[in-house]
Amino acid sequence: MKVSPSVLSADFGNLARDIQMINDSKASMLHLDVMDGVFVPNISFGFPVIKHIQALSTKPLDVHLMIVDPDKFVTQVRDCGAALMTVHYEACTHLNRVVQHIHDAGMKAGVALNPATPVALLRDIVACVDLVLLMSVNPGFGGQKFIAGVLDKIAELKQLMAQKHAHALIEVDGGVNAETGKALAQAGADMVVSGNYLFKSPDPQHAIELLNDL
């Protein structure tokens, strides 16, 4: 299982220390949640902070935009050195165009679904993206309870991907710990985002390793 630790749960007063800890861990990517206070009821951090993190990180950046109109920011996300830019299905009027712009900018493209958004809506985009991010909490905050309905959504997504000959990675985000991570691994998730469980652990690198070994 690939692991993408969520910086939202890091200690912002000791960010360099926490990024170094992730550099020295078995994490595959570094997950960065950008929030606008409109699409989600919270505001996190923006591009200057991501640039600073990019300078410190040896892991590829997995940037998750929880904002309306993400198309406006493709160039800025690219200029932050992101490897993967994920936008919400619910936030894009012209999703196919946004995905094209992300690819034209040289990044991998991901599409995210909120817990109440059905997988079937991805029918005409799933073959065009590199990753599908299934939210297992309502986005906006770390430390929320895992919504187990995502397990059925993984099965539906796998079926849809087979029909469409799609090869996107399946990433799940929200409330992921050793127990929910195990259920996600059994359901067929390829990558998990984890925040509170990892950063509040007495040994975050070991916690990353536990998820990685699932």
Ligand X SMILES: O=C(CO)[C@@H](O)[C@H](O)COP(=O)(O)O
> Any known ligand binding at 195?
no
Name the 3-class secondary structure at 204: helix
In the numeric block, which tokens belong to residue 214? Answer: 């699932």
C-alpha 98/C-alpha 41 separation (Å) is: 23
Contact between 193 and ligand X by CB under 6 A: the answer reads yes
**Binding to ligand X by residue 139, rule CB under 6 A?**
yes
- Which member of 196, 201, 205, 212 binds ligand X (CB under 6 A)? 196
Which of these segments, 46-54, 77-85, 148-156, 191-199, binds ligand X (CB under 6 A)?
191-199
CA distance 120 to 124: 9
Phi, psi (deg, nearest 5) at residue 193: -100, 135
The three-class DSSP label of residue 168 is: coil
Known binder of ligand: residue 140?
A: yes
Smaller CB separation from ligand X, 25 or 166: 25
Q: In the range 101-120, which residues lie near ligand X by CB under 6 A? A: none
First-to-last alpha carbon distance for the chain, in angstroms, is 6
- At 76 the three-state DSSP class reads helix
Contact 112, 135 (CB under 8 A): yes
Active site (catalytic) residues: 33, 173
Residue 81 marked as a ligand binder: no
Give the residue among 107, 108, 20 at the shortest CA–CA distance from 58. 20
Least Å distance, CB 164 to ligand X, is: 26
- Which of 102, 119, 122, 175 forms a contact with ligand X (CB under 6 A)? 175
Q: Is 173 in the site for ligand X (CB under 6 A)?
A: yes
Q: How far is the CB of 15 from ligand X (least distance, A)?
A: 15
Minimum CB–partner distance for residue 103 and ligand X (Å):
23
Give least dist CB 180 to ligand X, A: 9
Residue choice 9, 25, 57, 180 for contact with ligand X (CB under 6 A): 9
Q: Which residues are annotated as a binding site for a divalent metal cation?
A: 31, 33, 64, 173
Q: Which residues are annotated as a binding site for substrate?
A: 6, 64, 140-143, 173-175
Binding region for ligand X (CB under 6 A): 6, 8-9, 31, 33, 137, 139-144, 173-176, 193-197
